Amino acid sequence: MPCAQDAAIERADDVVDELLGEGWQPSDVALIATGSRHPEQKARQEEGWEAYWDSFWYRDQVFYGSVLGFKGLERPAVVLAINERPGMDRAVERLYTGLSRARDLLVVCGDPEHIENVGGPEVLKRIAGH
């Protein structure tokens, strides 16, 4: 889903709503961000680290996290919000980690130019489905 960096979280939220409307279970979906944390992630983390990670197992909730915090985890459906600013350290690591967290469905929301700059033209081509 092409969008500007500052609109990636909002677009990712729309995709999560669409997935839930299509019948995906909340516990099957994760929204992970490469840059600033999603407001829902921030709110859950304010309840404490343990409460935040407990929410990963809740069947009635979508999980919200950062890409590097989601390293080693997966969900059937992952919505990846590429909301980092250009030139951030570890951009390649965040992109590749985010691209590898979905078991069945991956939806990438971000600026195609940024994705190409970070991952190269072949990565953009595969994401775009061409």
User: What topology does CATH give the domain 5-128?
Assistant: Rossmann fold (3.40.50)
What is the Cβ-side half-sphere exposure of residue 84, based on CA atoms within 13 angstroms?
25
The DSSP 8-state label assigned to residue 76 in this structure reads E
Which stretch of DSSP H or E encloses residue 28? none
- Give mean pLDDT in consecutive 10-residue pieces for the chain, a chain of 130 residues: 96 98 98 97 96 95 96 96 91 95 97 94 85
Q: What is the pLDDT of residue 80?
A: 98
pLDDT value at position 87?
Answer: 84
Query: How high is the pLDDT of residue 130?
Result: 54
Sheet holding 29-33, edge to edge: 63-66, 29-33, 75-81, 102-109
Q: Where are the alpha helices (DSSP H) in the chain?
A: 8-21, 39-46, 49-54, 91-99, 112-119, 121-128
* pLDDT of amino acid 88: 85
